[in-house]
Amino acid sequence: MTEIYDFSSFPILRTERLTLRQLTSQDAEALLAIFDPEEARRFSTRPPLETREAAIKMINWFNDLTHHRQAIQWGITLHENERVLIGTCGWYSWAQSDRRVDIGYHIVPSQWGQGYATEATRAMLRWCFENLDLHRIQADCTAGHDASERVLLKCGFTVEGVWRESCWEHERFVDIKQFGLLRREFDFT
């Protein structure tokens, strides 16, 4: 059994190009750029993030979830400028008795197509498996969100099914694709 993370400090993760760190109020403007553009909301049920105050409220909510040992949301930055946020990723819905979590990620549209979501997700998956004694990590995305699906498949996830017309997005019902990754399937190298 893996020793479970004690939440005494925020875990900072480093990859070849990225640093995943705690979100701060200085990230509010960057969060607006990540969550507000129309292209970023195309596959999301999240309402627009329109003000700095709303972004700070979101940051405080993310950090409060960590404080209460319910989730972790990392800010994604490039090594050359760790103050400039290019995205977020995190885990939530921790079912400790079932040893599973759900994950998600968002990258600012100007940085799409660079492989940052895949790189950050791999680091997050490794951390989760090594620190939360997980058997399974799961994720979902709107059917047709090909870029998000590619991230999950590159990270080793398997498509497990489709929840037909299960979410109301942009004045229509949409299908949600379900993905799962078991600990024994994850490439720890």
Fold for the domain defined by 13-134 = Aminopeptidase (3.40.630)
CB 74 within 8 A of CB 88: yes
Please check whether residue 97 is in contact with residue 133, taking contact to mean a CB–CB distance below 8 angstroms. no
How confident is the model over 51-80, as pLDDT tens digits? Answer: 999 999 999 999 999 999 999 999 999 999
- The CA distance from 35 to 37, in Å, is 6
The dihedral built from the CA positions of residue 48, 159, 77 and 14, taken in this order, carries a sign that is positive
Question: Residue 165 CA to chain centroid, in angstroms?
Answer: 23
Q: What is the 3-state secondary structure (H, E, C) of 91-106?
A: EEEEECCCCEEEEEEE
Question: For residue 123, is pLDDT > 70?
Answer: yes
pLDDT value, residue 169 = 79
Residue 49 confidence class, pLDDT cut points 50, 70, 90:
confident
Domain ranges of the chain: 13-134
High-pLDDT (> 70) share of the chain, %? 93
**Choice between 87 and 82, residue whose per-residue pLDDT is larger:** 87
* End-to-end Cα separation, the chain, in angstroms: 20
Q: What whole-number distance in Å separates Cα of residue 169 and Cα of residue 60?
A: 26
Please, which residues have CB within 8 angstroms of residue 171's CB and are 6 or more apart in sequence? none
